[in-house]
Structure 1
Amino acid sequence: MKIAIIGGTGSIGKGFALRWGQKHQVIVGSREQEKARAKAAEYNGILKDYGFKADISGDVNEKAASEADVVLLAIRYGQIASTIEQIKPGLEGKIVISVVVPMEKDRCIIVPEGVPLEIPTNSREDYKADYFCYVTPPAGSAAQEIAPLLPERTELVSAFHNVPAAKLANLDIELNYDVGVCGNSMHSKNIVFGLVRDIPGMRPMDIGPIETSSMVESITPLLVNVAIRNHMKDVGIKFVD
């Protein structure tokens, strides 16, 4: 399978490229072609050192998307509209996976008793929280904001939100995480289930339709807060019964 990682030069993109590059043809996407190609060469070199003959290439986002079977959006929430506009012509009829999480620290405001809810902009610094929070998009989740921006025959799946980037990119570490998968088509979800299983130690969990994405996306800031406050690193999730 040919997988384009839009934002593939970032930390989470690196992890996916190294894990999927062992079995699939991966295209690292970036706004800058030279940067994409340099990172692709770096990832090929890492996998070669581990004994894998990888086929990772790099190109600008729009070309990467147009050449792939599956397109992974490993971008920041604020880049959604501009990135999809850039790659939209190459998304028709394909599966798009969103790992986007709208979380921030600066937007978390604690309002003490007696302070007006409408805090003046110049006073907001005094009320910022010291934890990360999920910033709920107007549509309900990042995935629900992405959905109407895609071509009609494109199938959207949201997944991999709670996978620690550092551990994903460290091939010396054995992973042991569950991955929540949300989507409206069992065809596309089954393909993503397979991509989850292609990463040793990962187990896919069907969460429901794309409307359930907010539940999974919002776990990420929770995990970050748990890690920071309890002196842990790269916290993930595992469901037990």
Structure 2
Amino acid sequence: MKIAILGGTGNIGKGFALRWGQKHEIIIGSRDIDKAEAVAAEYNEVLETHGYKPVITGTDNRTAAEKAEIIVVAIRYNQLAPVMELIYPVISDKVVISVVVPMEKNSCYISPGSNYPRTPIESEEFNTEYFCFSIPEAGSAAQEIFTMIPESTELVAAFHTVPAKKLADLDMELDYDIGVCGNSMHSKELVFGLVRDISNMRPLDIGPLETAGMVESLTPLLINVAARNKMRDVSLKFI
């Protein structure tokens, strides 16, 4: 299959390209064509050193979406509207996978011995930062994207809990479960296959697109767990 990764020059995009580039044709999309081409060459070199013959190219986001059968939207939430407007004319009858998470960093002040956040009025109070899920008006980033695509385009939300660094490390097997949300079993089955293309990963059907907010909110949760418990790149496994 031809898979476009919009935001393919970022951390999570690199992991997708290296894992799926072993079996599929990958098109890296970016606002900067030169950067996309340079990164594509870098990914090809990495895969070649591991014994693969990859076909990874780089171009702008619209051209990448136009050439592909499956489009992975792996960009920041604040870039969503302009990118979706850009690719709208070329994504009819295709499958879009949203990896987008709307989240933000917050902070509060906690007094020693207190369970309650306070206003910073005493010197012994300290600041603690954490990430939280910033709920869009539509309920999730995926539901928002649904309002930005043609009727014939199928949308799936998935891969929100994959640690980017581990995904890009081809020496690691990822024994994780991946939640998949969507309204079409046709597109879900395609995504299940992409999950299984990554050794040891298991796809789980979470439900329709309306459940995507629950899955998206797991990303800031996992980041907070890792940061506050001195862990790295945590993910999920249902047992």
Relative to the length of structure 2, the TM-score reads 0.92
Aligned to 1:74: 74
SS class of match (2:129): coil
Q: What is the alpha-carbon distance in structure 1 between the residues aligned to residue 168 and residue 63 of structure 2?
A: 24
Asked if the contact 1:105/1:129 (under 8 Å) is kept, the reply is no
After the TM superposition, which segments of 4 or more aligned residues of structure 1 sit over 6 Å from their partners?
110-115
Q: What is the alpha-carbon distance in structure 1 between the residues aligned to residue 184 and residue 173 of structure 2?
A: 31
Query: Is 1:227 matched up with 2:201?
Result: no
How far has the Cα of 1:235 moved from its partner?
0.1
- RMSD of the alignment, in Å? 1.8
SS class of match (2:59): strand
How far has the Cα of 1:113 moved from its partner?
7.8
Larger strand share, 1 or 2:
2
Q: Which amino acid aligns with 2:40?
A: A
Q: Which amino acid aligns with 1:197?
A: R
Asked if the contact 1:161/1:216 (under 8 Å) is kept, the reply is yes
Consecutive unaligned residues of structure 2, counting only runs of 5 or more, are 111-115, 120-124
Percent identity, please: 62
Aligned to 2:103: 103
Query: Is 1:7 matched up with 2:14?
Result: no
Aligned to 2:195: 196
SS class of match (2:172): coil
Distance 1:9-1:231 versus aligned 2 partners, 3 A rule = same
Asked if the contact 2:92/2:153 (under 8 Å) is kept, the reply is yes
SS class of match (2:82): helix
How far has the Cα of 1:60 moved from its partner?
0.4
Distance 1:128-1:218 versus aligned 2 partners, 3 A rule = farther
SS class of match (2:130): coil
Q: What is the alpha-carbon distance in structure 2 between the residues aligned to residue 233 and residue 172 of structure 1?
A: 17
Relative to the length of structure 1, the TM-score reads 0.91
Asked if the contact 1:25/1:55 (under 8 Å) is kept, the reply is yes
Alignment of 1:134-213 (within 5 A): 134-213=133-212
Asked if the contact 2:109/2:117 (under 8 Å) is kept, the reply is no
How far has the Cα of 1:130 moved from its partner?
1.2
Aligned to 2:85: 85
Q: What is the alpha-carbon distance in structure 1 between the residues aligned to residue 129 and residue 53 of structure 2?
A: 45
Distance 1:73-1:128 versus aligned 2 partners, 3 A rule = farther
SS class of match (1:174): coil
Render the CA deviation track for 1:65-121: whole Å, top value 9, x for unaligned: 000000000000111101101111111110000000111114x66796897xxxxxx
